[in-house]
Chain A
């Protein structure tokens, strides 16, 4: 059965890589957290709360990255009809949604001491919120269509339309924000970030990237196994049906 032959090789390869990837991300994460909490200096304006940045920024970048990854996989599904592309899309959606969600939560935690309120309709936060809604739409679509092949093609189209929409949303939210927001918008980082903060940030970004890669591989393996179970159950039901006849 061709739809399983190729994933079989993937399963073997991913099974070998996964422990190393998980270990590397655990080590880097530990190092990054140590740097972020004990080595990096507190900000002279924001105090200790600036350390939220070391989680907030990598999750924001991964939230966007996973939508891009989903869109690339969607092209793989529609153009090359590759079964691994379907699996990659499906596994990427909840991971991307989770990172986007963590980004929003850490943004709100940071906002409370900075702005005095949990949520402001800041342009970046608002764009991320719309991104989260788009992730939820994609996940809802996955849950609605039972047949994996048909679901993958439908989700691909939705994902790509959303991908085109991301810059438009960003542009319109920026526009909307300049209309309504007083000028007190806090800008992250900026070009003047000090090296003592940059290094922990880069280590954390790398750690989160490896972690997300490990999660994505594990998610893909789970999805492949789920499809095998589904296929075997259907064929078994058919066989029993035939024996009974």
Chain B
């Protein structure tokens, strides 16, 4: 399958965040989105996750049958999407049921991020780094082909970052797609890089006047 983004533009409260942004991504390919803070990395991911409507342009999926992009993506944003009152295992079991295409069990997924001992603990008891790892373990409970990652390495120690790198390379080798917004290197050789710059402002202001 292929993801094609065509001339995307994003505007948030009158500010043009980016414009004319296009890319194509096929099986086994990764796209690393970089840019300084506030450049619109998270906005691009939110558009791909169908949580933000682009000002112009569109995103389409080719060769994936009927399924819309929302049913193909596994999104880990900067909010973990975890319920503090539920245990790590319950959170992952819920994600597994909601996302469908069941892959690893919650226990196995937690083992993969080195947290099998925390399976029965409410997420509220975990540290920021541990919560992040539980959030990332969601990638393993469902066999969704597209990983959308927003700053996946934040709050992770070196060992966990290394493990995440291994998991991402495995996913690509198995024919998956990854789109990650980050300003830290992810260790993905051969990944395409998309640098988001702010569009020139003078023209924008001129038109408004």
- Asked if chains A and B are in direct contact (CB within 8 A), the reply is yes
Which positions 151-209 of chain B face chain A at CB distance < 8 Å?
A: 201, 204-205, 207-209
Query: Does B66 count as interface, using CB distance less than 8 angstroms?
Result: no
| Residues on A with beta carbons closer than 8 Å to the beta carbon of B14 | 230-231, 234-235
Nearest CB on A from B179, distance (A): 25
| Residues on B with beta carbons closer than 8 Å to the beta carbon of A242 | 201
A231 to B207, CA, bound (A): 11
Which positions 1-55 of chain B face chain A at CB distance < 8 Å?
A: 12-15
| Residues on B with beta carbons closer than 8 Å to the beta carbon of A236 | 205
A234 to B11, CA, bound (A): 12
A228 to B209, CA, bound (A): 9
B204 x A1 contact (CB < 8 A)? yes
| Residues on A with beta carbons closer than 8 Å to the beta carbon of B201 | 235, 238-239, 242
A232 x B208 contact (CB < 8 A)? yes
A242 to B201, CA, bound (A): 9
A235 x B205 contact (CB < 8 A)? yes
| Residues on B with beta carbons closer than 8 Å to the beta carbon of A228 | 208
Which positions 189-245 of chain A face chain B at CB distance < 8 Å?
A: 228, 230-232, 234-236, 238-239, 242
A231 to B209, CA, bound (A): 10
A4 to B205, CA, bound (A): 12
A230 to B13, CA, bound (A): 10
A232 to B14, CA, bound (A): 9
| Residues on B with beta carbons closer than 8 Å to the beta carbon of A235 | 14-15, 201, 204-205, 208
A127 to B155, CA, bound (A): 57
A238-B201, A239-B201, A242-B201 given as contacts; is B15 within 8 A of A4 (CB)? no
**Closest partner residue, chain B, to A236 (CB atom):** B205
Q: How many A-B residue pairs have CB under 8 A?
A: 30
| Residues on B with beta carbons closer than 8 Å to the beta carbon of A234 | 13-15
Nearest CB on B from A3, distance (A): 9
Cross-interface CB contact of A147 among B13, B204, B207, cutoff 8 Å: B13
Interface size class of B (residues with CB under 8 A): 10 to 19
A232 x B209 contact (CB < 8 A)? yes
A239 x B205 contact (CB < 8 A)? yes
Nearest CB on B from A160, distance (A): 19
| Residues on A with beta carbons closer than 8 Å to the beta carbon of B15 | 234-235, 238
Cross-interface CB contact of A4 among B12, B13, B208, cutoff 8 Å: B208
Which positions 27-59 of chain A face chain B at CB distance < 8 Å?
A: none
| Residues on A with beta carbons closer than 8 Å to the beta carbon of B205 | 232, 235-236, 239
A1 to B15, CA, bound (A): 11
**Closest partner residue, chain B, to A231 (CB atom):** B14
Which positions 2-32 of chain A face chain B at CB distance < 8 Å?
A: 4
Nearest CB on B from A244, distance (A): 13
Which positions 58-113 of chain A face chain B at CB distance < 8 Å?
A: none
A146 to B208, CA, bound (A): 20
| Residues on A with beta carbons closer than 8 Å to the beta carbon of B209 | 232
A236 to B208, CA, bound (A): 11
Nearest CB on B from A120, distance (A): 48
Nearest CB on B from A142, distance (A): 16
| Residues on A with beta carbons closer than 8 Å to the beta carbon of B204 | 1, 235
A236 to B206, CA, bound (A): 11
| Residues on A with beta carbons closer than 8 Å to the beta carbon of B13 | 146-147, 234
A242 to B38, CA, bound (A): 13
Nearest CB on B from A76, distance (A): 17
**Closest partner residue, chain B, to A233 (CB atom):** B14
| Residues on A with beta carbons closer than 8 Å to the beta carbon of B207 | 1, 4
| Residues on B with beta carbons closer than 8 Å to the beta carbon of A239 | 201, 205
A234 to B16, CA, bound (A): 11
Q: Identify which of A4, A228, A238 gathers the most chain B CB atoms within 10 Å of its CB.
A: A238
Which positions 97-155 of chain B face chain A at CB distance < 8 Å?
A: none
A4 to B157, CA, bound (A): 48
A235 to B208, CA, bound (A): 9
A sample of 13 inter-chain contacts (CB < 8 A) reads A4-B207, A147-B12, A147-B13, A231-B208, A232-B208, A232-B209, A234-B13, A234-B15, A235-B14, A235-B15, A235-B205, A235-B208, A238-B15
Chain B residues in the interface with A (C-beta under 8 A): 12-15, 201, 204-205, 207-209
Nearest 4 pairs between A and B by C-beta?
A: A231-B14, A234-B14, A1-B207, A235-B205
